Amino acid sequence: MSGTAEIHDATLTPTKLELLAGWLPKQEWFFGDPDDLMRVAAYRFVDPDGEVGIETILVRSKGVTYQVPLTYRPEALAEASDSLVGTMDHSVLGTRYVYDAVGDPVYLVELMRVIHEGDTEADLSRGEKSMTVLGSGIVPVSNAAGESMRVVRVLDGAHVPGGRPPLGVLTGTWTDENGEQEQTLVILR
């Protein structure tokens, strides 16, 4: 287990969905309508240093579910300016810089660890878990420095890349109006 993520009873301005409604239409992999975004599920990891919030939100638009990993930081991350989703005011923590997590090294390191170790999502301090994830674990290989990860953004079963067998995967399970869903979320090659 990735630890326990501290969840505050806070007001966010703008809300996460409002922030995503402005950002998602600019992403080449998003074909939905930002006016009908709906939160489906979410999971969290914990930054070992306790500085960065790490959350992945599943949203639906026009019947398609999208995976959006985010990080929340107290200060701007200069080397990830291209990944900035926006800022929001958190009534407990103050201004939060919100990043597309695939551009944030804290997320990438923790994601790699979860897959390598066969770990799961973090527990939540307030207990409301809406999905589970599980890293497959991997057998150590001599070219580990050459590993690459692919986050699957469109969760329709057709967007999981094929090719050579992966070294490891992150699989998610959640329930929506169509019943229980299980999908590959990340592929490590």
d(CA 48, CA 110): 8
State the Cα–Cα distance between residues 139 and 20, nearest whole angstrom. Answer: 37
Alpha-helix residue ranges (DSSP H) falling in the chain: 16-23, 105-117
185, two tokens: 């979320």
Query: At residue 62, does pLDDT exceed 60?
Result: yes
Closest by CA position to 64, among listed 88, 36, 43, 101: 36
**In angstroms, rounded to a whole number, what is the distance separating the alpha carbons of residues 69 and 48?**
17
The predicted structure's pLDDT at residue 160: 83
Would you give the DSSP letter of residue 147?
-
| Residue 79 in tokens | 């080397």
Instruction: For residues 135 and 116, give the distance between their C-alpha atoms in angstroms, rounded to a whole number.
Output: 7
CA distance 114 to 188: 11
Residue 38 confidence class, pLDDT cut points 50, 70, 90: very high
pTM passes above 0.85: yes
Beta-sheet strand order (sheet of 53-61): 12-13, 84-90, 94-100, 64-73, 53-61, 38-46
- Name the pLDDT band for 145 (thresholds 50, 70, 90): low
Distance from C-alpha of 32 to C-alpha of 24, rounded to nearest angstrom: 8
- Which has the higher per-residue pLDDT, 143 or 46? 46
Q: Which DSSP category does 2 fall into?
A: -
Of the candidates 121, 124, 106, the one whose C-alpha atom is nearest the C-alpha of residue 170 is 121
Mean pLDDT, the chain, whole residue set:
91
Can you give the pLDDT at residue 9? Answer: 81
169/148: higher pLDDT: 169
